[in-house]
Amino acid sequence: MTVCVLHVAAEMYPLLKTGGLADVVGALPPAQMQLGTDARVVLPAFPSVVAGLTQIEHVADLGPAFGLGNVRLERGVLEPHAIVVYIVRADAFYNRPGNPYLDASHTQYADSDRRFALLGWAAARIAHGADSTWRPDVVHAHDWHAGLAPAYLRAWERTSGVRVPSVITVHNLAYQGVFPAAEFGVLQLPADFFSVDGIEFYGHLSFLKAGLFYADRITTVSPTYAREIQTRVQGAGLDGLLRTRTHDITGILNGVDKTVWNPATDTAINTQYSVEKISGKEKCKAALQERMGLARDPDALLFGVVSRLTEQKGIDLLLSALPDIVQRGGQLVVLGTGDPALENGLKYAAAANPQSVAVELGFDETLSHSIIAGSDIVMVPSRFEPCGLTQLYALAYGSLPLVHCVGGLADTVVDTSLENLADEIATGFVFEKFDRPSIVAAVRRAFALKARRPDWKAVVHRAMEQDFGWEASALRYAEVYHELTV
C-alpha cells in the first residue's frame, strides 16, 4: 500500500529558507517519493513560495477563519522533483515583507499565533478531504509552526469520527511558539484542550506542546538529541511531557541532499572536485581567501562558519578561541546573521585582524557553498544542536568539522584522537566540554593534524566518504508511518 503523507511546515528549500528546517522539508519528500511514499507539503503562501511554484491551481475555498474573510487552498508543483505543494492563501497573514517570523525591522509579528494556527488548521482540513483528489494517511508536522495540526486532527476526530494519525518532528525544542492564554478562544479548539494535558503551558499557550501532546508519534533529528530533550537540563520545560511519551519518540538523523551539496557537481563553487580529484579544493580555498579579502596563503589553516548567529550556535565560545587561531597562523571566515551583539563581536574581530579574519553579515546561499568548499575546517561549536547540517555538508566537501559533542554533532563526527586515527575512524574534531580550554585543545588538534600531511589526507578522504544520504532517514520515517497505518 502506498502511504500518503502531508508535511506541514513554514519553510522549504529552495522556496524559502532561514535554516536547516527548510533543507529538511526540501529534501525529505523527494527521498520519500523515491521509496514509494506519496509525499506532499503544505506551506503558508509566502511571496517567495508562490513565486517558486509552477502550475498553481485553486483547490478549495476553506471559508472564513481566524478573523480572515475567505481562506483559499491552492496547489502547485515544485521542480525539479515535481513535489506537490499546497499553499494556504491568506494574504493578510502571509503576504508581507520580511521573513516568516520577523518583519522587515526584525521584530516578531504580533499575530503569529493566528498565522501559524491557520497553517495547522488548513493541514487538518486537507486531511479531512479539502482536496477531493488526494488525502493523506498521515500528517507530518514540523516544529511549533505546525504544532496545532495534531490538535485540530484530535478535535475533529471527536466530532467526525474520522481519525488521521499524525507525527511531529522536533527540529529545535528551544522554539516553542508560546502565546498569551487570552488567544485560546481564537483557535476554535474544544475548551478542554486548554489544560495541562493539552495546549496549556505555565498559564500560556504552547503550539509545540500541543503538537507533542496530540501527535501519535514524536521524532527528532538525531538519536542523541532524542535522549537529551528528555532530561531536565536540556528539556526546555517539556522534558516531563517527553518522558511520559518516551516509547513514542524516535531520533532520525537528517541527511545531505546530494543534488544540492556535492562538490563534484556544485556550480556555486570555484572549481568542482571529488575524492579522486581533490586539487579543485585548493582552488576553492584560494578563491575564498580572495573573495573575503584575506591573505592568499595556501598554508594558512582556514576555519569557516556558516550559521545563524544566536546563543545556540556558540559563537561567543568561537570568539574566545580566535586569538589561538590567529596566533598559530590560521584564518577565520564567518557568514551569518542574527543577534546584533554577536554580529558586532565578529565585526570587531575582523577589523582587528584584517588579514586573517573576515565576516560577512547576511544570508547568502552561494557564499555558504564557497565557505563549505574553501575551508579546511568548518566550526560548529553549538551549545546544543538537534542535528546540524553544516557539519554534514563539511564532511561531504572534505572540510573537517570541529564540533561540540552534543546532539547530532556527537552522532555524526568522530574526533581525531590518536586512538581514532589509529583505528581509521576519525573524521573531524570533537570537544566534550563547552569551555575555552576544550575548544582551544580541539583547535590545536586541527593544527597538529594539518602538520602531519599523510594523516590529514587520510582523514579528509574518510570524511568525504561518509554517507549521510537521505535514503536511510526516509526509510526510518517510513517505519514510523507504517506503525500508524497498519
Binding residues for ADP-alpha-D-glucose: 17
Distance set, CA 313 to CA 117, 277, 310, 437 (Å): 28, 33, 6, 18
Helix (H, G, I), strand (E, B), or coil: what is residue 82? coil
CB contact at 8 A, 308 and 19: yes
What residue type is 21 in one-letter code? Answer: L
CB of 20 to ligand ADP, least distance (A): 2
Q: Looking at 71-111, list the stretches that DSSP marks H as alpha helix, in order from N- to C-terminal side.
A: 91-94
CB of 455 to ligand GLC, least distance (A): 29
Query: Among residues 262 and 337, whose Cβ is nearest to ligand ADP?
Result: 337
CB contact at 8 A, 148 and 209: no
CB of 267 to ligand GLC, least distance (A): 24
CB of 95 to ligand GLC, least distance (A): 25
Helix (H, G, I), strand (E, B), or coil: what is residue 471? helix
167 makes contact, choosing from ligand GLC, ligand ADP, none, with CB < 5 to 8 Å by partner type, with none
Q: Which three cell numbers stand for residue 130?
A: 479539502
Q: How far apart are CA 142 and CA 449, in angstroms?
A: 40
Residue ranges of the annotated binding site are 17
Query: Given the rule CB under 6 A, which residues bind ligand ADP?
Result: 19-21, 23, 306-308, 335-337, 363-365, 368, 387-390
221 makes contact, choosing from ligand GLC, ligand ADP, none, with CB < 5 to 8 Å by partner type, with ligand GLC
Query: Among residues 254 and 331, whose Cβ is nearest to ligand GLC?
Result: 254
337 makes contact, choosing from ligand GLC, ligand ADP, none, with CB < 5 to 8 Å by partner type, with ligand ADP
Query: Among residues 207 and 261, whose Cβ is nearest to ligand ADP?
Result: 261
Query: Among residues 287 and 458, whose Cβ is nearest to ligand ADP?
Result: 287
CA dihedral 6, 7, 8, 10 (to 10 degrees): -150
Q: Which three cell numbers stand for residue 124?
A: 487538518
321 makes contact, choosing from ligand GLC, ligand ADP, none, with CB < 5 to 8 Å by partner type, with none
Query: Given the rule CB under 6 A, which residues bind ligand GLC?
Result: 19-21, 24, 171-172, 221, 254, 385-389, 408
CB of 27 to ligand ADP, least distance (A): 10
333 makes contact, choosing from ligand GLC, ligand ADP, none, with CB < 5 to 8 Å by partner type, with none
Q: Looking at 276-375, list the stretches that DSSP marks H as alpha helix, in order from N- to C-terminal side.
A: 279-291, 315-327, 340-352, 365-374
Query: Among residues 166 and 254, whose Cβ is nearest to ligand GLC?
Result: 254
On the question of a cis peptide bond just before residue 80, with omega within 30 degrees of 0, the verdict is yes
Query: Among residues 251 and 330, whose Cβ is nearest to ligand GLC?
Result: 251
CB contact at 8 A, 69 and 85: no
CB of 112 to ligand GLC, least distance (A): 17
Strand partners, 137: none
